[in-house]
A and B are shown apart, each in its own frame.
Chain A
Amino acid sequence: MTQKLIIIGAGMATGRALEQLIETAPDAYDVTLFNAEPRGNYNRIMLSPVLSGDKTYAEIVTHSAEWYEENGVTCRFGERVANVDRDRKVVVAENGDELPYDKLMFGTGSNPFIIPMPGHDLDGVIAYRDLEDTELMMSMGDSNKVVVIGGGLLGLEAAAGMAARGVDVTVVHIMGHLMERQLDEAAGYLLRKALVDKGITVRCQANSKQILGENGKVRALQLDDGTELPCDLLVMAVGIRPNVKLAQDIGLAVGKGIHVDDQMLTSDPDILAVGECVEHDGAIFGLVAPLYDQAKVAAKTLLDEPATFVQKEISTKLKVTGCDLFSAGDFAEGEDREDIVFRDPARGVYRRLVLQNNTIIGAVMYGDTADSNWFFGLIKDATDVSDMRETLIFGPAYQGGTPMDPLAAVAALPDDAEICGCNGISKGQIVAAINAGADTLDAVKATSKAGSSCGSCVGLVTQVLGITLGDDFKMPEIETICKCSDLSHDDVRKLIIAKELKSIPQIMQELDWTSPGGCHVCRPALNYYLVCAWPGEEVDDGKSRFINERVHANIQKDGTYSVVPRMLGGITTPDELRAIADAADKFNVPTVKVTGGQRIDLLGIKKEDLPAIWYDLGEAGMMSGQAYAKGLRTVKTCVGTDHCRFGTQDSTGLGIKIESAMWGAWSPHKFKLAVSGCPRNCAESTCKDLGIICVDSGYQILVGGAAGLDLLEAEMLVTVATEQEAIDVSCAFYQLYREGAQYLHRPYKWIAKVGLDWVKEQIVDDPENCAALAERFRYSQQFYQVDPWAERARKGVDAHEFTPLADFTKVAAE
């Protein structure tokens, strides 16, 4: 006698099981198929092409009405199974019909997770799971705005599909980069770039607070920083949960999913389960490949044939419409793991392999995934790759072949990219000079002038020589920025400008970084170079700064901090001193010291107290003295003509004016100044980065002094007649140093490299250039003259730095 099989859910997993069953034993079962969706089995994966308009629904139907009819399947579509009576072995449909079964199969799939935030039940808040959701998204057009919560695979598919229809889409993602579970930061950056190119707005690290509505319909999403993102439709794609409600209600064993054994049997031997609703050996499933394996096993089990379901390593070749992505295995860094990274900035390609014990355990690829199967094979088989290590990353085609060009970043520059800023020489002009016979660096310098001035472009000029001449040219060794890159500091700075690079992940991708995310050596340097190159463009990344600059105070050896308020020119008032004294009392400051920079240091302050003490000092009109900064520190002064009988000019006043113009600026290293009222030099101007000595005829400006581990006397740059000129030249010099010196070089080191004569040429001999430098400095200062203490004490900036995440010291033992 034919047995009765009832299937709950006409999805991809049960669909495959049904095919297997009918193919092997068409008459074994009399099948009834329930489906809550008002249709049969279709290829859910292809909903995205339907959304983008590349396919129609009819094209993605897996089983048509005719197929069900031919195979004798009784369809009850649009009907949910309401209950199962296991004792009587009957299924109860929504309309009350009772159907007896011999075998029952669950394939109820998953439910999209809806974050229970206020407004989640408004009209126009949907998930992305079925045809109804897809149709709603397809009804959006170029006059609509849609917000997608979730920067994982589904959310991005939804966003890309709607963007293809001209919809204004914003993706809101809680983590730091897109698809963080499958991609590392660099690949996430490339993906983001590709999506932005499609017109999609991407907001990472954005926490949704509530959904705002109007007349019961969604109006906007509000983030927890208060931003409102208006929208006509809100798609939530933040994950799925196995749909286990019915199974649970009828008492089957359920954990995260419906428990099944290796034969796909649930805790009731007459009930099977397949698909996303199951949990097998602790794992749940979200991709179709393992579901198809389950379906085969389930069909065999139904026919009493032996079969065993085995979980396999899953690689994902991810297809976000128009972006090539691949990830497989485990790609977190670890102590015993090594990375091999390959980037081809010109083609937007990124590849990373993670190796452990000479085998590949993880791979991430973006842009060119042609070799992904080969890599996946090596992961799966745990192949020993020690023999091919050198060329492994280039894929199978290169095994035994030649390695790639290490100069890719420079090769990718367009001909009109400026290489030598001093002389205004482009890459094309250098190539022309080389082709005309200049085959050494000196010859190029002589004929094109590139590299003949400050010399900071020599690294790039050499690379252009290398690219143009190929093997005929031997590249000299250069000192690289750190072990993550083949480029020197100077090269990196120039390329940041030439290629308009504006974030650290972008630099790392476009300039071929060999580590996935940089290190503590290159990150602070890159951050400074961005801050200097792109004032006003919000490029500063606090997490790439050393602790003192991150929290705007100097860390002390016991982990407490010191606080030094600014005293312009070393001048203070009784009110300021009273406020400092009050703060010292209030916060029990153990040490109050007069610094070498003519101001007062409060030492031994707890990190949590910093914003509060800053608040009090701010109330008295004081701001950060930036005694912690690689940036402007102090301008020491003497009392000058106001009080001293030797004084020739108002040294105190000039010091105050210079410090007022310069405070807040960041630079490669700290920058200290002094202004003395006469050559007796009471402010010690002759050992400063920039010192001014007032004389009867005007102001002598000295640069490049040092009084630290090295002791150096500052050298005369120029003598100027007026106070204004003194200020302008000081700003111009500071800017020249800011733009040119390598990170962590004090001015004297930089001058030793470029030569004082060159500095004079730029500033003294070229008044126009001097004015332009001063102007660039002033432009930049509009963005950096913001008191960081006030922002933290009053506006709550970086509050996470100053408060613990959780405090269990006070709770009693539980």
Chain B
Amino acid sequence: MTDFIDIGSVTDIPVQGARLVRTQHGDIAIFHTASGKFYAVDEYLPGKAGPLSNGIQHGEKVTDPMRNWVFDLATGEAQGADEGCVGTYEMKVEEGRLLLSRDAIANQVAAE
């Protein structure tokens, strides 16, 4: 079963905003969409996109601030003609707390 770790409260991220979770293997951007959903994706797709937490968030997508690529937050896939996929992580909300899959941070930490 997936193990989760508390990363903050739902009110810590404004609607249509994003915040970072820093990990030893890189930053993860946590998005809060207008539909009230939360997503965790890699901040960078090296050489192609990022920093995504700085993009404009719309629908269940985000537009990269540098190159205007649009990524689906649920799958991490670039939309339209662009090809690429950012890593996504499992997360959930319980009683107003944001819970991120421990794998997102712990695996890499343990691997060191």
With known contacts A175-B10, A524-B56, A555-B54, A806–B22 Cβ distance under 8 A = yes
Return B11 CB to nearest CB of chain A, in Å: 4
CA distance A229 to B2 in the complex (A): 41
- Asked if A335 and B8 sit within 8 Å, CB to CB, the answer is no
> Contacts of B9 on A, CB cut-off 8 Å?
207
- Asked if A809 and B34 sit within 8 Å, CB to CB, the answer is no
Hey, what's the 0/1 contact readout for B1-27 against A, CB within 8 Å counting as 1?
Answer: 000000111111111110111111001
Return B66 CB to nearest CB of chain A, in Å: 7
> Which one of B16, B32, B44, B74 lies within 8 Å of A334 (CB-CB)?
B74
CA distance A551 to B56 in the complex (A): 12
- Asked if B8 and A808 sit within 8 Å, CB to CB, the answer is no
The listed residue with most B CB atoms (<10 A of its CB), out of A520, A811, A814, is A520
A515 at the interface (CB under 8 A from B): yes
Which residues of A, 24-59, contact B by the 8 Å Cβ criterion?
Answer: none
A493 at the interface (CB under 8 A from B): no
- Asked if A174 and B34 sit within 8 Å, CB to CB, the answer is no
CA distance A205 to B68 in the complex (A): 29
- Asked if A800 and B20 sit within 8 Å, CB to CB, the answer is no
A333 at the interface (CB under 8 A from B): yes
> Contacts of A224 on B, CB cut-off 8 Å?
11
CA distance A806 to B75 in the complex (A): 23
With known contacts A174-B11, A809-B24, A800–B34 Cβ distance under 8 A = no
- Asked if B20 and A804 sit within 8 Å, CB to CB, the answer is yes
> Contacts of B19 on A, CB cut-off 8 Å?
800, 803-805
With known contacts A334-B74, A543-B57, A806–B65 Cβ distance under 8 A = no
CA distance A519 to B55 in the complex (A): 12
CA distance A813 to B10 in the complex (A): 26
B30 at the interface (CB under 8 A from A): yes
Residue of A with least CB distance to B77: A335
- Asked if A543 and B109 sit within 8 Å, CB to CB, the answer is no
- Asked if B23 and A809 sit within 8 Å, CB to CB, the answer is yes
Which residues of A, 166-214, contact B by the 8 Å Cβ criterion?
Answer: 174-177, 180-181, 184-185, 205, 207
> Which one of B11, B21, B55, B56 lies within 8 Å of A808 (CB-CB)?
B21
CA distance A547 to B66 in the complex (A): 10
- Asked if A334 and B58 sit within 8 Å, CB to CB, the answer is no
Interface pairs (22), CB distance under 8 Å: A175-B10, A176-B36, A177-B36, A184-B34, A184-B35, A205-B14, A332-B35, A332-B60, A333-B61, A519-B63, A520-B58, A523-B56, A543-B14, A543-B56, A543-B57, A545-B56, A804-B20, A806-B8, A806-B22, A808-B23, A808-B24, A811-B109
Report which B residues bind A (CB closer than 8 A): 7-17, 19-24, 27, 30, 32, 34-37, 44, 50-51, 54-61, 63, 65-66, 68, 70, 72, 74-75, 77, 79, 96, 98, 105-106, 109-110, 112
Report which A residues bind B (CB closer than 8 A): 174-177, 180-181, 184-185, 205, 207, 224, 331-335, 515-520, 523-524, 543-547, 550-551, 555, 557, 559, 800, 803-809, 811-814
